[in-house]
A and B are shown apart, each in its own frame.
Chain A
Amino acid sequence: MISFLLNDKAVHIDATQADTTLLNYLRDERNLCGTKEGCASGDCGACTVVVAKTNEQGSALEYQALNSCVTFLSAVQGKQLLTVEHLADGETLHPVQAAMVDAHGSQCGFCTPGFVMSMFALYQQDSAPNREQVNVALGGNLCRCTGYRPIIDAALASCTGTPQDKFSQHQAATIAKLNALPNSDAGLDTLFMPTNRNELAATIKATPTARLFAGSTDIALEVTQQLKSLPSLVSLTQVKELQVVEETSSGLKIGAAVPFSKMEALLLKHFPSLHELLDRFASTPIRNQATLGGNVANASPIGDMPPALLALNAVIKVDNGTTRRDIAISDFFTGYRQTRLQNDEWIEAIFIPYLKPNAQVRAYKISKRQEDDISAVCAVFNLALDENSKVLQLKSGFGGVAATPASVDALSDAIKGKDWSKISTFELGKKVLSESFTPLDDVRASAEYRQALLVNLFKRFWLQTNQQSQQIETRVHAYE
C-alpha cells in the first residue's frame, strides 16, 4: 500500500501499475487537471507539484517542488502531495497566486500552475530570496509568453521568508495527519520499497528483473518517452544505508540515494568551487529527487557530476548485501553507459576525499543555456602546487568528449614539476589536451567546438589560478 495525503485528505493506494507517474495519477485518476503536461520529460516544469514532509526532528514541514511527470507514486509515501487547486484558502488566493495576478505573471496560463507551485515551495523557505535565488528556484519552469520579468517580480514580492498562509497555520494538524499514515509494508505488489540492505538484497534476489531507482528522473523517461512498461520496480529511497551522509576524518561520504538538494550544502562546504555545477545541475525540482548515486550509476558521458568526481579522486562504494567493495571512480566506467557494477550490486555511497590544503579546484560547464541544460563539455580541474608554484599534480575530469566521463592523466604527467605561472606550462598542457580526445558531433555541439573548449577551458583555468592573471575577467556568468 502507498499512503499519503493528497492535499488534505489521506489516500491509500493498494493496486496500480508500478510505473504510474504522479502526473497521470493526478490528471487521469483524480481529475486534478490544474497540473499540466508540457513535455513529460522533466524539462519544462508545467507539471510541478509540491511535496511536504516532516523534518528530521518531526517539528515542522519541509516543502519541495517536484516534476510530477517523472515521479512514480512511491515518492509520496508518507508525505503530503500538494496541487495548485489546493493553495487558495476558500475564495482567497494564496499570496504567491495573488502576486502572480497582480504582476500580470500569466498570459496563456499553461505554465502558470507549475510556476505557482515552484513559487509556493520558495514561499515556504524561511528567508526572503534574492533575484538569483528566485532564478534557481524557478529555473526548471519554462514560460514561452511573458519573458519572465513579471514572474520574477511576483516571486520577489510574495516570498518574504515569513510564511503566513493556511499551510503554516495548519502545520501541526498536517504533521499529525502525516504521522497517522501507515508506513510499514509500504509499496505495491510490483513496486518494492525495501528499508535496509538485507531487504534490498532479498528483493533483488527474488525479483532479479525488477529495476532499481531512487529519484526516478531518468528511468521515468523510459515510460513517458520510450513508451515502455516497467512492470516491476524497486525504490531505493527508504533503504537507510543509502541515506547516510557522513563527514569522516578523511572525506565526505554521500549515500547513493540522497537527493542533491539534501546534500548540496555539505558538498559545497568542502568543495565550494562545485557551486556552478550544482546550481546548474538540471533544475530545482529535479535536484529535489535526483541522486549522486543515480548520476554515477547511469554512467552517462554527459552527466554533470562524474567529471567532478574524477577530478576529486572519488571512490564508489558498492554493496550486494553480503560483500562491500570500493571501486575508484577512474576504474568505474567501462564503456558507454556501462560500469563495473555486477547484476546483484548497487551503489551504497560515494566517498570524496577532502582537498589537500594547496589544492585549487575549478569546475566549468558549457551549454547553450545556463539553466537546466546538458553540457556540451564539462571540465573539472584539481591542481596542487608547491610553494614555488611548481605543479605537484593536476587531476582532471571531462564530460561530453568521449563515450564515458574521463580524466587525462597524461596532462598531469606532462606538466608535473613545471612552473605553473609559465606560459610554456600552459602550452604543454594545451598540447596534451588537444590530443587526448576525439569528440563527436551531436545535437549539442560539433566535434570542433568541443575540441576548442577542451583547450580554452584549460586556458581559463590557467588564467584564473595564476597570480599574474587573476585580475583578468574570464567569466560572463558569475557563480559564487
Chain B
Amino acid sequence: MRKLIEQPFTSNPQGKVGKSHPHESAIRQVSGQARYVDDMPQPANLQYAAVGTSPEASGTLNSIDLTAVWASPGVTDVITVDDVPGHVDIAPVFDGDPIFAQDQVLFNGQALFAVLADSVQHARQAALKAIIDITPSAPCLTVETAKQQSNFVRPAHFMQQGDFDTAFGRSELNAQGHLSIGGQEHMYLEGQVSMAINDEEDRLLVYTSSQHPSEVQKLIAEVLGCKLHKVVVDMRRMGGGFGGKETQAAQWACIAALLAKRNQCAVKLRLPRMQDMIATGKRHPFENSYQVGFNQEGLIKAADIDINGNCGHSPDLSDAIVDRAMFHCDNGYYLENVNVAGHRCRTNQVSHTAYRGFGGPQGMIVAEAMMDAIARKVGKDPLTVRKLNLYGDKERNLTPYGMTVEHNLLGDLIARLEASSDYWARREAITQFNKTSPIVKKGLSLTPVKFGISFTAKHLNQAGALLHIYTDGSMQINHGGTEMGQGLHTKIGQIVANEFGVSLHDVEVTATRTDKVPNTSPTAASSGTDLNGKAAQNACIIVKQRLAEFYAETINESELTADKVIFADNYVTLGPHSVEFVRLVQDAYIGRVSLSSTGFYKTPKIHYDRSTGNGRPFFYFAYGASVSEVSIDTLTGEYKVERVDILHDVGRSLNPAIDIGQIEGGFIQGMGWLTTEDLKWDDRGRLISNNPATYKIPAIGDTPEVFNVDLYPRDNDEDSIYHSKAVGEPPFMLANSVWCAIKDAISSLTDYKVDPQLPAPATPEAVLKCIMSIDPDATRSEPS
C-alpha cells in the first residue's frame, strides 16, 4: 500500500489555511464581473419560459384552457404534465412532487403548465391567460387540522431514554408549554433560475442555480426519459441558497430542459420574485409542546417533547428535517428521562424544505423555552438554570438518541462568554433600569448551541474531487460542493495551496460540473468543507505521493525516501535537496507521471438505526453561545437589539474572516426568523406575505451596534479537515438569545415571576399581544 503524505497544518509559513484570505470571487463581485446564471452570454436562439400556477390550494383539476395562452404575443410552445415524456414525479426522496399538477392541485401556486416565448415579458404575460377549471375542496392549512385528520406525509418517529412517566411523577416541580414557530422564506437575493441548452444530438447542458447539481442532472434525465450521461449540469455560483436551492431548484431546471429538448433551442426560466416566494418551499413552521419535570434547583428530571412539522403537501426532505428537529430538542442539555415524538403533518401549502439548520432551530428553541420556563418557576436567572442542565463530561452525557456527547465544550465556552460579555453586571444594571423605566424595558439572555454535524442520511456523507496540475505548476481543483457565498471555494483553494505549498493564485477552483465529479451530495448540512475539503486533500495527497516518489527516485539516496518529501513555499524539499515546485512538475511530466487525480472521502464513525432511534448520527458537534440585550417598548411592542456577544466554535479555523462572516450572517438570519420575518397565508391557503414589501428580512439598521464575535480557540478533536469544524448552520441558532431576551424583558413586567408565552416570530405585534396577555395593566402605568 502506498504511504500517503500528510501535510501538517502548522508547516505552512505562508498561512494558506488559517488566514483570512478574501472570498475567491470578491473582486469579481464588487466590480460586477461575477456571473450568475441570468448573466451568462445568451446562446443563439434563446427563448424564455414562464410558469402558470394554481389559484387554489386544493381541489380537482378539471381542465386548463390554453387557447388564449397560445394566442398571446410571442408564444412558441406551451406544455402541461401530458407533455412530459419520462417521469412526472421529481420528488427528491419519497414520491409526491409532480413537475406539473396532475388530477389534483395540492397548493396555491403549484405549477400547472409552462409557456415558451420570445421574451421574458411575453412569456409571463401569456402565463396569466389560461382559463383554469378547478373544483375546489376544503384545504388543510394547519398542523392542528392535519393531526386531527391523521394527515401525515411520513410516519411519526420516536426517541426515548429512561422512564419519563415515573420520573415526571416524582418531579418536585413541572412546567408545560406550547410553541408556535413560524417558517421562513429563504429570500436568496438571486431567485430561482436555469438555462438549458440543447447540445448536439441528444445531449443537454444546463446552467442552474442549485445546491445539488447531481440531483438536477438525475431528475432532468428522468423527466426526459434519457440516461444521466446525456445531461451535464454546470453551477459556478449561486446568489444565495440557504437550503432553498437544495431540492427547489430542480423543477425549474427540468421545465427548461423539457422545453429546450422539445423545441431544439436554448431556454431560460427565471422565476419572478413573487412567484419564487409562492411556488417554492420554505422553512417548516412547527407547533411544538413540552412537559418538563424538575427539582427545586431547576435540574431537569423528565421531559416529554412533541414536535410537529408543517410539511406542506409532500414529503420533500421533511422526514430528515423533522428528525433533525428531534435530534436538537435537547440542545446542550441532558434529558435523563425523555420521550420525543416527531410528526410530519401534511397541509395544502407549498412543500416546505431545507433551510439553514434543517429543522434544528425549530427543535432547539423548545429546549430554550423549557429553560426559561424552569427558571421562572424556581426563581433563578435563566443562565443559572442553563448551566445546571448542561451535558456532563463523564456522566450525564447520553443524548435521547443514544449518542454519547464527547468533547463537550459548552461549559468552558459559556464561562468565557459570561466573563467577556460582563453578563452578571449587566443583569444587575438591567434589573435596576427596569425598576425605574415604566415604558421601555430591557432584557438579557445567554443561550448556547450544540449542533450535530453530518447528514443524517448516511449515504450523503461522501464527496469527490478532481485535481489537475498543468505544466506551469498551476492547478485546477473541481469538487462536488457548490459555492453559494459561504466561501467553500475559497477554503478548498486554501487547502489545495496548503497541500502543495504553493500560492493561492496558482489554484483555480472551477465550476461544479456533473461531468467532472459525478454523483455528488447536495451542498448542505454545513458539510461542504468537511466533505469536499477532505476529498480535495485526498486528490492532492495522491498526486503528491507520485511527485514525491518521482523526486526520491531522481535523488536516489537510500535514506531519502518519498515520505520525507516536503512541499512548502513553492519548493519541494528532500533532505538537503530542493527543487522549485514548477520545475518538479515539468520534470514529472517529462518523466510520464500522471499529474491528475480524483479524490474521495467518506465520513467515519457515523451510523443511526431509525427503528430503535439509536446511534451516532453525527461525526461531531459544533458549539457556540451568544448573549443578547434588547430593549422593548411596552406601548407598541417595538424592540431593538442593543448588543450581541458571540463566542463560537469552528475548531481550527481555515479562514477566520469567512468563518466570522458565516457566524454573523447566520446570527442575523436567525434573528430575522425569530423577529420580523412573518409568513402569512390567508384562509384559502394563499401566501399573502409574497414579496419583499410585505415580508421583511433584517435590514442594515437591524445589525446591533455592539456586535462582538469571537472564535473559540480549540481544534476539532475529531479528524476533520485540518481539525476545523463546519460553520454554515450552527450560528443560525445563536439568535435564540434574541428571542429569549425579548421574553426576559417582558417577564420583567411580572418581576420575573411569569414566563411569557411568546410565539416566533416575535413581531412587534406578537410582543405587544404577549405583554397584554401577561400584564393587561402594563400599558396603563402612569407617570409617578
> Which chain A residues have a beta carbon within 8 Å of chain B's beta carbons?
32-41, 43-44, 46, 83-85, 87-88, 93, 97-98, 100-102, 104-113, 116, 131, 134-135, 138-139, 141-152, 225, 227, 366-374, 376, 423, 442-446, 448-449, 452-453, 456-457, 459-460, 463, 466, 468-469, 472-477
Contacts and interface: CB of A to CB of B under 8 A. Distances in A.
Contacts of A149: 664, 703, 707
Given A107-B487, A477-B638, A38 B779 contact: no
A139 B692 contact: no
B425 interface: no
A36 B237 CA distance: 14
A104 B676 contact: no
Contact of B32 (A85, A131, A370, A423): A85
B214 interface: no
B274 A225 contact: yes
Contacts of B691: 39, 41, 43, 225
B409 interface: no
29 contacts: A32-B32, A38-B189, A85-B31, A87-B31, A100-B26, A101-B30, A104-B26, A104-B657, A104-B660, A108-B188, A108-B237, A108-B485, A110-B36, A138-B700, A142-B692, A144-B186, A146-B661, A148-B700, A152-B700, A152-B703, A227-B124, A366-B636, A370-B701, A449-B769, A456-B768, A460-B439, A472-B437, A474-B439, A476-B639
A379 to B, nearest CB: 10
Given A101-B26, A227-B121, A476-B639, A110 B239 contact: yes
Contacts of A225: 272, 274, 691
A378 B489 CA distance: 47
B583 interface: no
Contact of B703 (A88, A147, A468): A147
Contacts of B33: 34, 85
A13 B285 CA distance: 50
Given A107-B665, A151-B700, 6 more contacts: A34-B33, A84-B32, A109-B29, A134-B700, A369-B702, A476-B631
Nearest to B32: A34
A109 B489 CA distance: 14
A44 B769 CA distance: 30
Contacts of A373: 696
A475 B437 CA distance: 11
Interface stretch (B17-25, B78-86, B498-506): B17-25
Contacts of B697: 142, 144
B147 interface: no
Contacts of B25: 106, 109
B636 A469 contact: no
Chain B interface, >50% SS class: loop
Q: Which of B191, B239, B658, B694 has the most CB of A within 10 A?
A: B239
Contacts of B633: 474-476
Contacts of B783: 463, 466, 468-469, 472
Nearest to A445: B765
Contacts of A104: 20, 22-23, 26, 657-658, 660-661
A373 B701 CA distance: 12
B700 A446 contact: no
Contact of A106 (B26, B35, B635, B692): B26
A452 B633 CA distance: 13
A36 B239 contact: yes
Interface residues of B, number: 91
Contacts of B29: 106, 109, 112-113
A443 B23 contact: no
Contacts of B487: 107
B653 to A, nearest CB: 13
B678 interface: yes
Contacts of B30: 84, 93, 97-98, 100-101, 105-106, 112-113, 116
B618 interface: no
A329 B688 CA distance: 32
Given A106-B26, A108-B485, A472-B438, A146 B640 contact: no
Contacts of B34: 109, 112
Given A139-B700, A142-B692, A142-B699, A456 B636 contact: yes
Nearest to A97: B30
Contact of B35 (A33, A370, A376, A472): A33
A459 B779 contact: yes
A449 B237 contact: no
Nearest to B707: A149
Nearest to B39: A33
Sorted from nearest, which 6 A-B pairs have the closest CB atoms?
A34-B32, A108-B485, A110-B239, A109-B29, A147-B668, A107-B485
B189 A93 contact: no
A146 B665 contact: yes
Nearest to B639: A476
A443 B702 CA distance: 21
Interface in B764-784: 764-765, 768-769, 772, 779, 782-783
A368 B678 contact: yes
Given A34-B33, A107-B485, A366 B703 contact: no
A35 B36 CA distance: 11
Given A44-B692, A147-B667, A227-B121, A366 B700 contact: no
A212 B629 CA distance: 49
B90 interface: no
A19 to B, nearest CB: 10
A305 B392 CA distance: 59
B636 A457 contact: yes
Interface string B23-53: 1011111111111101100000000000000
Contacts of B585: none
B756 interface: no
Given A36-B189, A38-B273, A148-B703, A369 B696 contact: yes
Contacts of B763: 368
Q: Which of B38, B693, B700 has the most CB of A within 10 A?
A: B700
A342 B665 CA distance: 51
A473 B439 contact: yes
B329 interface: no
B440 interface: yes
B705 interface: yes
A475 B242 contact: no
B744 to A, nearest CB: 15
A144 B635 contact: no
Nearest to A109: B29
A270 to B, nearest CB: 26
Nearest to B34: A109
Contact of B688 (A443, A466, A468): A443
B772 A452 contact: yes
B736 interface: no
A46 B707 contact: no
Contacts of B439: 460, 463, 472-474
Contact of B273 (A41, A445, A457, A469): A41
B110 interface: no
A116 B187 CA distance: 20
Contact of B238 (A108, A474, A475): A108
A198 B402 CA distance: 83
Interface in B616-661: 631-633, 635-640, 657-658, 660-661
Nearest to B679: A443
Interface in B670-704: 676, 678, 680, 688-689, 691-694, 696-703
A131 B707 CA distance: 14
B175 interface: no
B440 to A, nearest CB: 4
A108 B699 contact: no
Contact of B765 (A93, A112, A449): A449
A145 B26 CA distance: 14
B692 A39 contact: yes
A39 B693 CA distance: 10
B377 to A, nearest CB: 29
Interface in B424-444: 437-440
Contacts of A468: 783
